[in-house]
């Protein structure tokens, strides 16, 4: 019994093979795919032109201009940067700013962590309400919020009147403590949102498994849940720390010249002294501190992510 084979493959089989086999069977089709890729890349570049122009004009050009002023005004050289670390008044303001930003970051993370954790374990309706509470500060004016703190912190204000009932007179207006409290409240949402994004990805069954193996709730939280939430903690803390470094409205309204922060110093040098070179040097120093903080945060987050231990085992 003989079986006859078709002398040529059907056209539809060839088309299917050309479509499915990598590289294809038709060089013309391969050239068409390459042309399509170049076409898409060209369209992407064209669409990016407006954003690139805006970024160059509104960010890079002012940054280059600030760097130029910092090394040319009032004379060419690095005198403004040397004065930045030689002037005791400026050094005190820089150290106060760094310390205030660090305290604000710690306070906001301590307040944001339980709130973000509650958002991950509650019901959808409750989660929507908590989300609304987090977003409300973004819908209100920063000046309006600081006026509220002004009424609370001023002498014979709400807090001072309450404390006077216990024989304590301590108005918070014009103090670093008052500025720290107000900044913590204003920046709290910036810590809650990164934490919620990180905590929402943690599988709670890992904690339950640790408890099933005999660990208490506290130990399972400390050894399992907390290390897994470390990337979110680092991201939220660094975000708040960086925002605190350049905060101006709250320290200007609630602080005092004796407790000024670095943003107030820059504004004073620009408006009152017209020291554009010195202000530019302080701004560049602030930018360097920000970049170093971001770099360290990435290193810490990467180390925590790769070296997280559960039950003592990597």
| 77-307, CATH topology level | MetI-like fold (1.10.3720)
Boundaries of every domain in the chain: 11-70, 77-307
Measure the CA–CA gap between 37 and 293, rounded to whole angstroms: 39
User: Does the pLDDT value for residue 6 go beyond 60?
Assistant: no
304 with 230: CB under 8 angstroms?
A: yes
Confidence at residue 307, expressed as pLDDT on a 0 to 100 scale: 57
Write the pLDDT tens digit of every residue in 209-257.
888 888 888 888 888 888 888 888 888 898 899 899 888 888 888 888 7
Report pTM: 0.77
Cα dihedral: 296, 294, 284, 256 (round 10): -100
Q: What is the DSSP letter of 87?
A: -
74 vs 96 pLDDT, higher one = 96
Q: For the chain, where are the alpha helices, taking DSSP H only?
A: 11-20, 27-55, 61-72, 79-86, 88-121, 124-135, 142-153, 158-164, 176-199, 204-212, 217-220, 226-228, 230-245, 249-254, 262-268, 276-307
Indicate the SS3 state at residue 310: strand
DSSP secondary structure code for residue 5 in this structure:
P
Q: Compare 183 and 37 and report the one with higher pLDDT.
A: 183
pLDDT tens-digit series, residues 23-62: 444 444 444 555 578 888 888 888 889 899 998 888 888 8
Two tokens, residue 140: 């209100």
């Amino acid at each position: 019994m003989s079986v006859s084979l078709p002398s040529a493959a059907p056209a539809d089989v060839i088309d299917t093979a050309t479509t499915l086999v990598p590289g294809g069977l038709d060089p013309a089709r391969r050239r068409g795919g390459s042309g399509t890729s170049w076409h898409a890349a060209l369209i992407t570049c064209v669409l990016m032109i407006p954003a690139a122009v805006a970024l160059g004009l509104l960010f890079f050009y002012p940054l280059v201009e600030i760097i130029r002023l910092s090394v040319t005004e009032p004379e060419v050289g690095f005198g403004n940067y040397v004065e930045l670390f030689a002037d005791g008044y400026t050094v005190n303001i820089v150290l106060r700013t760094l310390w205030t930003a660090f305290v604000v970051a710690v306070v906001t993370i301590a307040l944001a962590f339980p709130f973000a954790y509650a958002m991950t374990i509650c019901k959808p309706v409750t989660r929507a309400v908590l989300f609304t509470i987090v977003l409300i500060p973004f819908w209100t004016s920063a000046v309006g919020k600081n006026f509220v703190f002004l009424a609370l912190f001023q002498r014979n204000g709400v807090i001072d009147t309450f404390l006077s009932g216990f024989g304590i007179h301590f108005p918070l207006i014009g103090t670093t403590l008052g500025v720290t409290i107000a900044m913590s409240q204003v920046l709290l949402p910036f810590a809650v949102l990164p934490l919620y994004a990180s905590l929402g990805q943690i599988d709670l069954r890992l904690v339950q498994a640790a408890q099933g193996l005999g660990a208490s709730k506290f130990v399972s939280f400390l050894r399992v849940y907390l290390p897994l939430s470390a990337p979110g903690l680092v991201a939220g803390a660094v975000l708040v720390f960086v925002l605190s470094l350049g905060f101006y409205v709250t320290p200007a309204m609630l602080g005092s010249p004796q407790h000024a922060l670095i943003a107030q110093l820059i504004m004073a040098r620009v408006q009152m002294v017209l020291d554009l070179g010195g202000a530019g040097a302080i701004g560049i120093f602030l930018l360097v501190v920000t970049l170093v903080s971001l770099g360290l945060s990435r290193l810490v987050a990467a180390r925590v992510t790769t070296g997280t231990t559960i039950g003592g085992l990597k």
